[in-house]
Amino acid sequence: MLSTDNETSEQFEIPANWIYRGEGNCNVVLSLPQLGKILRIRKTNRPRSLIGWLVKWISDILDWLYGKGITEELRDLQFYSTVMRPLVGRKYTSEACQIVLSKAEVRSLENELCKYRPEFRKHKILQYGRASLFDDFAFIPENEYDYLPFKVAEDTYAIELKLKQGWRPLSEKHFPTCVFCMHQYLKLEKKKIKVLSKYCPEDLFSGNEARMVRAIKSLIEVPQNNFRIFKNGNLVYGDNLKAGFSNVVQSIFASKESLDKLLDEFCHLMRKSLTTNFMNVDVVEHCEEQTFCQWNKIIQTSGTNTTLPKNCVLEKILSIQMLDTEGCDYYEKLLHKENLEDWNYVNMLLDRVTNENVCMKCMIMTLGNCNRIDCEADLAFIPYLISAIAKDCSLMITVKRIQENIGDDLEIKNILTTEYGHFLVNIGVFDLYPKRLTSIRKHCQRNKDIYKAYTKATSKSTSNFIESLK
């Protein structure tokens, strides 16, 4: 980590050959191919008036002078490194490094980015003092394959998945379908999408082969912002680049077989990657608290979810999502009773995480369920907010084809077999940054809006169907 003192920290110069990788609600992401890194820059709301710009200008000066942005970024990175990396697994996550960008460089970058950014994202601008470097999961580090006694292909393919929510807490059990599927109708109503996706996260997280293949095929058919493929770091398939999937899949497998057969094999490779335990070492099995572990075991074996292999990436992410047992409605009611700061819970949790060998999920559940008289009110929201991060994270499955027949008896964890040869596979999970406490209200309102849109759309469809029968 760099020093939090912005007067002594070395400023980072962005290489000229950066590539706009994309952005979410909170961050702009650039690929730095020369360094093999991802640069993540925080965004903030664009002022809507002259007074707003003046306030922002003064705020930027003060933040820069006193290092507020740098301190906040350091807090978020400590949360990522201390809480989220142990939860997800260090094998599936990247080291992180805070950097400092000059004000002039941020302004210049913002002007250059304008032609790449979608219009609906331009209501936010780059924030001074909030930037970090991570490994670029669109590539496999050379130390992952330099030791291998066989040749690998030059081209690297990375499949990016935004998985979304695969688990329904108590207050969402009555929903007719999952939150993602219902949200499609609201997006269609607001013209954010042109066609409904058939992808259902609950299919992907089920562990059932047929359901998982159906989910992957649905993502390929309607990618939206949930599915993208990169070749050597460059986007070759996604929502705005849908013409070339057949060429992409033929290149991945170095085969001219029929698209249907290659598609099936691609889905098989994706499913196997998501359900294989790539962890170098298993997590600590001994758990004294059992607050989460026993409950998780009961749920996973009760028939509501097909059990996923222990320590595969889907199991790691789903188990974090399952920290939210109640749903946002329960937590919104608690919010009305308290006057709390957005980020207090982050510092409080960091103060309590002292030993990485403890069961992090059980510790989080214990903090969230402790006696309200004995505990700070902020702690009650921690299970939900940690779960919300896992519901909104992304991952990349990165593959390199092995260019020789190595047989099927080779037992190396990160080498998977297909009908078209063997593949070196790496998985990286990202977008694991803390959520605002007040995002709970936003989630509750979203759920109300999507339920209303879904009910309206399906009722209209039913009426139209009945009318057509007359």
Cα–Cα dist 206/266, whole Å: 19
Neighbouring residues of 258: CB distance < 8 A, sequence distance ≥ 6: none
pLDDT at 143: 77
Is the pLDDT at 8 greater than 50, yes or no?
no
The end-to-end CA distance of the chain, in Å, is: 70
458 CB burial (10 A radius; 0-12, 13-18, 19+) = middle
pLDDT confidence of residue 242: 73
Contact between 202 and 166 under an 8 Å Cβ cutoff? The reply is yes
Asked if 457 and 185 count as a contact pair (C-beta separation under 8 A), the reply is: yes
Rounded to two decimals, what is the model's pTM? Answer: 0.89
Rounded distance between C-alpha atoms, residue 252 and residue 244, angstroms: 12
Superfamily of domain 19-136: Inositol-pentakisphosphate 2-kinase, N-lobe (3.30.200.110)
Task: Tell me: pLDDT of 292 over 50.
Answer: yes
Indicate if the pLDDT at residue 430 is higher than 90. yes
Highest mean pLDDT, choosing among 158-162, 404-408, 464-468: 158-162
Tell me what pLDDT residue 57 has.
56
Is pLDDT of 67 > 70? no
Does residue 355 have a pLDDT over 80?
Answer: no
Structure tokens at 17: 């050959």
pLDDT at position 339: 78
The DSSP element (H or E) to which 421 belongs, if any, is strand 421-430
Residue 465 has pLDDT above 50, yes or no: no
Rounded mean pLDDT of 93-106?
A: 90
Query: Which pLDDT band holds residue 310 (cuts at 50, 70, 90)?
Result: confident
Q: Where are the domains of the chain?
A: 19-136, 138-470
Indicate the average pLDDT of the chain: 85
360 vs 210, higher pLDDT: 210
Summarize pLDDT for 393-424 with one digit per residue, the tens. Answer: 999 999 999 988 877 666 777 899 999 999 99
pLDDT at 442: 94
283 compared with 34, residue with greater pLDDT: 34
The amino acid at 388: A
Q: Is the pLDDT of residue 295 over 80?
A: no
